[in-house]
Structure 1
Amino acid sequence: MPPNNHSTPKDRVLQGLDTIPVDRTVEVSLRDLMFVHQMLGEFVQFFRQPTHWPNLDAVQRFMGGRDTGGGTEVLFEAYYERMRDMIPADIDDAMNDTSRFEHPLPPDYFVEDWSSDKE
């Protein structure tokens, strides 16, 4: 559990989504959407089973580098290339502004010393 002065991944993902009307839609490339879906599926498949990541080396092998075909490469392609055209201009502007979709508390992985979080 993160300290009270940090946000959880779920907190960060949900930040600002309630400001978007439920019935607002976008039209996207099915191929790009499937790329993002398949990329998320690879991350779920890897991280759902702790035996897939018994140590940091295993995670680093899965993530790889920018040009290795690993998790980092497909994550960056999904986020910075495939999804870029899916986001309407007003939402993109709001994301760049950071006040609407950026959680006010830093993520829990910014904690430098987890030992102080022990109960």
Structure 2
Amino acid sequence: MKYEYSDNLEELVTYGFDEIDSSEQVEVNLKDLMYVFSTLQEYQRFFHQPSHYQSIDDIENFLGSVKDQKAYRLLHNSIHKKMQLMLPTHISDKYDEGSFDSPKLPFYFKMQK
């Protein structure tokens, strides 16, 4: 099977969003939203400065694992314990159906071969 790859991550991330009513809103827990916001800020704080990640060890130390109190755990919790619960059922169903899965793969999948 031949795959198509893209370095346009914004296009990949927003694939299928045209199916979402732009006027639809959700009410969320502010503390959970702040957890996600602060997690994204921490990723930005680390990655905005190349001197923070001069080696793969620097990145591995920042990320840790889901068992460590480091960045990967924050991201995992943001997605699976915070944001996932904020999504309306019909949007969660669309995720399960693959409606938001771009037919293109991110460029870094190609690099693994």
TM-score (norm 2): 0.91
Q: Residues 54 and 68 from structure 1, CA distance in 2 versus in 1: closer, same or farther, beyond 3 angstroms?
A: same
Distance 2:13 2:65 in 1: 25
Distance 1:108 1:93 in 2: 27
Amino acid at match of 1:54: Q
Identity of aligned residues (%): 31
Distance 2:25 2:45 in 1: 29
Check if 1:90 corresponds to 2:106: no
Distance 1:112 1:59 in 2: 18
Distance 2:87 2:61 in 1: 31
Q: Residues 80 and 113 from structure 1, CA distance in 2 versus in 1: closer, same or farther, beyond 3 angstroms?
A: closer
Q: 5+ unaligned residues in a row in structure 2: which ranges?
A: none
How far 1:19 sits from its partner (Å)? 1.4
1:83 aligns to what SS in structure 2? helix
Distance 2:88 2:32 in 1: 15
Size of the aligned set, in residue pairs, is 110
Mapping 1:63-82, distance limit 5 Å = 63-82=63-82
Distance 2:25 2:62 in 1: 34
Distance 2:69 2:12 in 1: 27
Q: 5+ unaligned residues in a row in structure 1: which ranges?
A: 115-119
Mapping 1:35-46, distance limit 5 Å = 35-46=35-46
Distance 1:40 1:29 in 2: 17
Distance 1:13 1:52 in 2: 26
TM-score (norm 1): 0.86
Distance 1:39 1:113 in 2: 27
- In the other structure, the counterpart of 2:108 is 109
Q: Residues 113 and 89 from structure 1, CA distance in 2 versus in 1: closer, same or farther, beyond 3 angstroms?
A: closer
Check if 1:6 corresponds to 2:5: yes
